[in-house]
C-alpha cells in the first residue's frame, strides 16, 4: 500500500527550482532512501514532505489524505515524524527529561502544572521503553549536551519515535559519525523499520545499500532513478550523476 505520495512536487526559490516535478511513492513497511549529489534537492524535498516548506506546485498525500497545505505540527499529529541533520535537543535537560517531554506531547499531559512528571507512570514507562529500544538507558540521567555525538543522534531519533509516527523521516542519521557509531546506527534503523515505515536521506552508500528496500535518486531537483539497491548500483545514469559512480 502507498503510504506517502507526491505528484509533480515542485519548490522554487526565486528563479532557482530546487525540486522539480517530483513523483514519489513510499510503500508502507519499507525503508526508502533518497540519495543524490550535493545540491540535488534532497533536504528541500524533506522539508516539503515534513511541512517546513510549502510547495510552489504539486501535491502531497499521506494515507490518501491531501496534506499539501498542512503545517508541520498537523502532519506530526497524523503520523509523520522527523529527525533533523542537526540535533534539536534541550542540552541542559537530561536524556530522560528530553524524551519525557516528547512523550508528554502525545499524551495530553504536557501542560499540567500541578502534577510532577515523575508521577506520570505511563509517560515514564514509555520513555524508558524508547530509551531501551534506542540503547540509551545508560545515559538517562546525563545532560543531553554531554553525551557522545552518536548517542545525541540516537536521542534525536528517539524523540521522533516518541511522537508515535507511522512514517519516520530521517535526515542524514549517520552524518559526522565514526564507523563504529555508523554500524550501530544501521542496527537501530533496522530495528525501527520493524514498526515504522522509514524515509531517509543518507550520503553513506554502504548504509543505503544495506538497509534500503527502495532508493530514489535526485539530480538537479529531479528524479533520475527509482529502484531496488541492486538496480541502482548498476544504473549508468546514476553513476554519471555521482561523477565516477557510487562508492562504498
Is the pLDDT score of 114 beyond 60? no
**Average per-residue pLDDT for the chain:** 89
Q: Pick the more confident residue, 177 or 107.
A: 177
pLDDT, tens only, 150-195: 999 999 999 989 988 999 999 989 988 899 999 999 999 999 999 9
Is the pLDDT score of 110 beyond 60? no
For the chain, domain boundaries = 2-79+165-241, 91-154
Q: Which three cell numbers stand for residue 246?
A: 557510487
Is the pLDDT score of 107 beyond 70? no
User: In which band, very low, low, confident or very high, does the pLDDT at 89 lie, cut at 50, 70 and 90?
Assistant: confident
User: In which band, very low, low, confident or very high, does the pLDDT at 247 lie, cut at 50, 70 and 90?
Assistant: very low
pLDDT, tens only, 62-73: 999 999 999 998
Read off the pTM: 0.87
- CATH class of the domain defined by 2-79+165-241: alpha beta
Contacts of 115 (CB under 8 A, 6+ apart): 109
pLDDT, tens only, 216-228: 999 999 999 999 9
Is the pLDDT score of 248 beyond 80? no
Amino acid at each position: 500500500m502507498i503510504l506517502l505520495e507526491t505528484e509533480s512536487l515542485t519548490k522554487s526559490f526565486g528563479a532557482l527550482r530546487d525540486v522539480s516535478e517530483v513523483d514519489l511513492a513510499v510503500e508502507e513497511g519499507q525503508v526508502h532512501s533518497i540519495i543524490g549529489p550535493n545540491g540535488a534537492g534532497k533536504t528541500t524535498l524533506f522539508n516539503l514532505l515534513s511541512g517546513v516548506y510549502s510547495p510552489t506546485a504539486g501535491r502531497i498525500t499521506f494515507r490518501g489524505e491531501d496534506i499539501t497545505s498542512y503545517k508541520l505540527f498537523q502532519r506530526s499529529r497524523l503520523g509523520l515524524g522527523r529527525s533533523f541533520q542537526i540535533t534539536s535537543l534541550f542540552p541542559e535537560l537530561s536524556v530522560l527529561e528530553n524524551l519525557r517531554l516528547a512523550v508528554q506531547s502525545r499524551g495530553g499531559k504536557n501542560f499540567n502544572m500541578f502534577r510532577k512528571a515523575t508521577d506520570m507512570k505511563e509517560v515514564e514507562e514509555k520513555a524508558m521503553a524508547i530509551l531501551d529500544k534506542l540503547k540509551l538507558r545508560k545515559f538517562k540521567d546525563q545532560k543531553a549536551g554531554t553525551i557522545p555525538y552518536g548517542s545525541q543522534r540516537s536521542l534525536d531519533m528517539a524523540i521522533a519515535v516518541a511522537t508515535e509516527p507511522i512514517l519516520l523521516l530521517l535526515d542524514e542519521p549517520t552524518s559526522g559519525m565514526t564507523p563504529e557509531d555508523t554500524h550501530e546506527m544501521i542496527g537501530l534503523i533496522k530495528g525501527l523499520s520493524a514498526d515504522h515505515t522509514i524515509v531517509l536521506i543518507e550520503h553513506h552508500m554502504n548504509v543505503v545499500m544495506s538497509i534500503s528496500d527502495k532508493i530514489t535518486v535526485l539530480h538537479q531537483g529531479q528524479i533520475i532513478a527509482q529502484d531496488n539497491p541492486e538496480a541502482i548500483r548498476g544504473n549508468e545514469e546514476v553513476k554519471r550523476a555521482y561523477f565516477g559512480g557510487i562508492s562504498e
